[in-house]
Amino acid sequence: EAEVAQSPRYKITEKSQAVAFWCDPISGHATLYWYRQILGQGPELLVQFQDESVVDDSQLPKDRFSAERLKGVDSTLKIQPAELGDSAMYLCASSLSGSASYEQYFGPGTRLTVT
Amino acid sequence: AQSVSQHNHHVILSEAASLELGCNYSYGGTVNLFWYVQYPGQHLQLLLKYFSGDPLVKGIKGFEAEFIKSKFSFNLRKPSVQWSDTAEYFCAVNANTGGGADGLTFGKGTHLIIQP
């Protein structure tokens, strides 16, 4: 069964450093999402792409976070500079486009620890 | 904007007990509703979803949920739980506007522990 791939699985970085996460969605899935999940909370949407275009980045802290999906396939989420409060699980999900009822498939996530 | 409330953050049950996890949402329009599960060490995966039609939906592993529009609720149920149901359960919604596949708004989750 096809899966969403994410790397790295774990990342430890010092505050003020830059960090980047990578996501490869399921082949054919035009919609890609990045979520952040703080320990003990549910995932929160950071950014949504339709192909290479950003559809929703209203919850993305744009002063330090950036996301791109240049060729409409894989995507990178970057944090610069990282802060202690950014410690969380970063989840990528993908879905078919065209209907809000389509299932979102989640990757294993990248657990970020900022020291 | 939508919001989701899950009332039970930690639930402990014995095997064969019945399960009901509460979920209420807040949104003025039509929504799609989802329950996701995260087993220890695994990805989030879909248990079941509702977007139209019969308000009683059945999912994988014997789970079901009922959408009660008047109560803005989508409670998850299972008549007899197993030890393997130990997991984190998340209720989620997105707006059903007939447009694209919107991002999900999740509740805080319920940590379910089944004791043998």
Q: Yes or no: say if A81 and A15 are a contact pair by the CB < 8 Å rule.
A: yes
Q: Tell me the per-residue pLDDT of A37-55, one tens digit each, with 9 for 90 and over.
A: 999 899 999 999 999 999 9
Q: Which of B52, B92, B101 shows the shortest C-beta gap to A102?
A: B101
> A32 is written with which tokens?
């890609």
Mean predicted confidence (pLDDT) in A73-84: 97
Residues of chain B that touch chain A, judged by Cβ-Cβ distance less than 8 Å: 4, 32, 34, 36, 43-46, 49, 51-52, 90, 92, 94-109
Q: Which long-range contacts (CB under 8 A, 24 or more apart) does B47-53 make?
A: B47/B76, B47/B89, B48/B76, B49/A101, B49/A103, B50/B74, B51/A100, B51/A101, B51/B96, B52/A101, B52/B96
Q: What is the DSSP letter of B102?
A: P
Residue A9's Cβ-count burial label (10 Å; 0-12, 13-18, 19+) is exposed
- Residues B106, A43: C-beta atoms closer than 8 Å: yes
**Would you state the pLDDT for residue A101?**
63
**How are beta strands B87-95 and B31-38 bridged, if at all?**
antiparallel
Q: Which of A93, A100, A104 shows the shortest C-beta gap to B99?
A: A100
Dihedral, CA of residue B14, residue B6, residue B48 and residue B45, to nearest 10 = -80
Q: Name the more confident of A82 and B43.
A: A82
**Would you state the pLDDT for residue A105?**
94
- Residues A41, B108: C-beta atoms closer than 8 Å: yes
**Would you state the pLDDT for residue B98?**
65
Q: Rounded to whole angstroms, how far apart are CA atoms B73 and B66?
A: 8
**Would you state the pLDDT for residue B28?**
80
**Would you state the pLDDT for residue B93?**
93
Q: Tell me the per-residue pLDDT of B59-107, one tens digit each, with 9 for 90 and over.
A: 999 999 999 999 999 999 999 999 999 999 999 998 877 666 688 999 9
Alpha-carbon separation of residue A76 from A47, A71, A90, A103 (angstroms)? 11, 11, 11, 22
Percent of chain B with pLDDT over 90: 77
- Residues B90, A99: C-beta atoms closer than 8 Å: no
> A17 is written with which tokens?
């450093």
Amino acid letter, residue B77: R
Q: Name the more confident of B36 and B94.
A: B36
Q: Rounded to whole angstroms, how far apart are CA atoms B22 and A78?
A: 36
